[in-house]
Amino acid sequence: APAADGDASSRPGEHRFSAVLHRIAEEMAARDDHGAPADYIPMLAGADPRRFGMAVAEPDGTVYGVGEWRQPFSAQSITKVFALALALSLDGERIWRGVGREPSGNPFNSLVQLEYENGIPRNPFINAGALVVTDRLQELTGDAAGQVRELLRRESGNPDIDFVPEVAASEAAHGDRNAALAHFMAAYGNVTHPVPDLLTAYFRQCSIEASCADLALSAGFLARHGVRADGSALLTRSQAKQVNAVMLTCGTYDAAGEFAYRVGLPGKSGVGGGIIAIVPGECTLCVWSPGLDRRGNSVAGVAALDRFTTLTGLSVF
Ligand code: DON
């Protein structure tokens, strides 16, 4: 067993990380700094930043958690991982013609790099890159958002996972930056659908509501080297490695270096306050707390994952 900085043992009858999860939840409740919920999507702005939930899913589909781990929240940018996985599985390497895989060092909604890099976004997890992926998935399937919802439903076993039209509409009403990104890439021929249609698909995809349990289970294929819950392959082993690598280097935007330093796992955040993280071969994690830092990552979410890897000694390093 790895030498860890804490006592990770559970009582008989409990799951292997139960004690750690309870300890982390207590520590998070005692924090005074919880950050502030996203204010640019009015539907999310009212959330209480002290709310907290965390789930662990084992590769065999066992899931358990602490706090509000069964409470649905707005998945937002976490959906970008699932959209990328679907695009990679259907399109292979071709997806990388229109989007790179380097950290941007810029905020998730930044415009500046796009012009001097000719309309090719740095990576699939900043908004511009996610728009390219959704555009491609729309072309491949005719219903990008529906395919992402279906993947989450299948992998989590929860048929109630769905879009929240009010969240999508709220974002559309304040979507000028995303519209600017999409139009800019359209000018370079890097998106093919009419921009209003692409934005509709992207906002629907972002509006999906799911719980920590749902998202930890849904990400299980990334801990199982590409294998879905039903035993079929969504990704090859190499592709699962590639998605995890891009999550590690780009999944938390201009905080990806700090996240890798503190947590040491591939992770992907969303402005709803969720973060998924992968321990390949071991488990998947999802944590939710709606208070964000200035880079758009959940304050308690990052702190909880930092504590998890510190207390258990698990990380990719
Ligand atoms: O595109 C947007 O602005 C949002 N729908 C998603 C962004 C997001 O979750 C960024 N996360 N930290």
pLDDT, tens digit (0-9, with 9 covering 90-100), for 157-178 = 999 999 999 999 999 999 999 9
State the residue for tokens 């219903």: 143
In a domain, 173, yes or no: yes
In a domain, 113, yes or no: yes
In a domain, 114, yes or no: yes
Residue 188 is among the residues annotated as catalytic for this protein: no
Segment (H or E) for 287: strand 283-288
Q: Over 60: is that where the pLDDT of 10 sits?
A: no
Q: Is the CB of residue 74 below 6 angstroms from any atom belonging to ligand 1? A: no
**Residue 253 counted as an annotated binding residue:** yes
| Terminal Cα-to-Cα distance of the chain (whole angstroms) | 14
Q: Is the CB of residue 242 below 6 angstroms from any atom belonging to ligand 1? A: no
Residue 271 is among the residues annotated as catalytic for this protein: yes
Catalytic residue among 56, 64, 66, 80: 80
What is the CA(128)–ligand 1 centre distance, in A? 11
Nearest to 185 by CA among 245, 243, 250, 124: 124
State the residue for tokens 């790179």: 100
By alpha-carbon position, which residue is closest to atom 7 of ligand 1? 77
Total domains, the chain: 1
What is the CA(251)–ligand 1 centre distance, in A? 12
The 3-state DSSP class for residue 182 equals helix
In a domain, 272, yes or no: yes
pLDDT band at 1 (very low <50, low <70, confident <90, very high): very low
Q: Is ipTM beyond 0.95?
A: no
In a domain, 317, yes or no: no
Distance from C-alpha of 24 to C-alpha of 7, rounded to nearest angstrom: 12
Percent of the chain as helix, strand, coil, to the nearest 5: 50, 10, 40
In a domain, 2, yes or no: no
What does the block give as tokens for 165? Answer: 């039209």
